[in-house]
Amino acid sequence: MVTTRTIQYRDALNEAMCEEMQRDQRVFLMGEEVAYYNGAYKVSQGMLERFGPGRIIDTPISETGFSGLGIGAAMYGLRPIIEFMSWSFCLVAADQIINNAPKMLYMSGGQFGCPIVFRGNNGAGGQLGSTHSWSVEAMFSSVPGLKMAIPSTPRDAKGLLKTAIRDDDPVFFLESERMLGMGARGDKDFSHYLANRWAPPEGDEEFLLPFGQAHVVKPGKDCTVVAIGRTLHFALEAAEELAKEGIDCEVIDPRTIRPLDIDTITQSVRKTNYCVVVDQTWPFSSIASEIGSQVHERCFDDLDNHVYRVNNDDVPAPYNRALEQEMLPHARKIAEAVRAATYNA
């Protein structure tokens, strides 16, 4: 019988990989410290003992090398999962992951696919400095040929990762270090919105979530708030505060950026007539900019104000804890944007 249970975000990722490795002998995990150390963040805890060193593979500190090795393995029929300890470290492998993997099927005339998953921590992890706090979704999502998922709950982490591993295209799977320890109940202020969709079902090894299908987390009528990944939790916190002022937000989690479920977003905007988009990239050429542009194109006559964006401040990530938290999107910034968008500032 399928039941719900308590499970941390990191354990949901582990469970997804273990189930897919058990199901398909072609799947293997490769990255720095994924084997004998059980993963830098313990996402691969116990996998070496279960699957052995032939499928759980420690690598040198060389993203360029093991990314390229994974792409070659995918071209010859395997299904690699390549873990970046941080997506900040992927930049040295840009030629492999964005110039080779997404273009392989096209440039080989259909002879070589590239079913590979690149996954790891994305965004500011907590006082890691500006070079270790990159949010890469805006840089990489413009590349045709790849797919991109950004899960915000343990349930989505498991269901989307299993779908990614089975996908025949390269998938960029962006997690968050700050969410790895999240349990199955959510934060107290808004757990009721996610209570039935927070933990993956137990005992269902075919639990898959389709790409390109957004989740309306909180229905509402006054303003559409689109929030991606970790920012979903700040958006729900802001929605709780705004509800006290009589502003009823509809909060949407896209879950995947490539493909993007713009239809669910625009359907909501046509109902509310206002829109705020939140993501953890810098504002110039951000994901919020792209979604805002598409909303303007499709909902011009329905909008009663322009689309508002909430992003990281346009500065390198500070090391100081207080400055770092202020630089990132948070509930106060989102609430202020909603008030401005709905003429309640």
Q: By C-alpha distance, which of 307, 311, 308 is closest to 282?
A: 311
Catalytic machinery residues: 63, 132
Helical H segments across 167-286, by residue range: 191-194, 231-243, 262-272
By DSSP bridging, strand 56-58 and strand 223-227 are unpaired
**277 sits in which H/E element:** strand 275-278
Contact 80, 70 (CB under 8 A): yes
Distance, in Å, from the CA atom of 229 to the CA atom of 304, rounded to the nearest integer, reads 27
Tokens representing residue 43 in the block: 């996402």
**79 sits in which H/E element:** strand 79-84
Contacts of residue 243, Cβ cutoff 8 Å, sequence gap at least 6: 249
The DSSP code for 99 is I
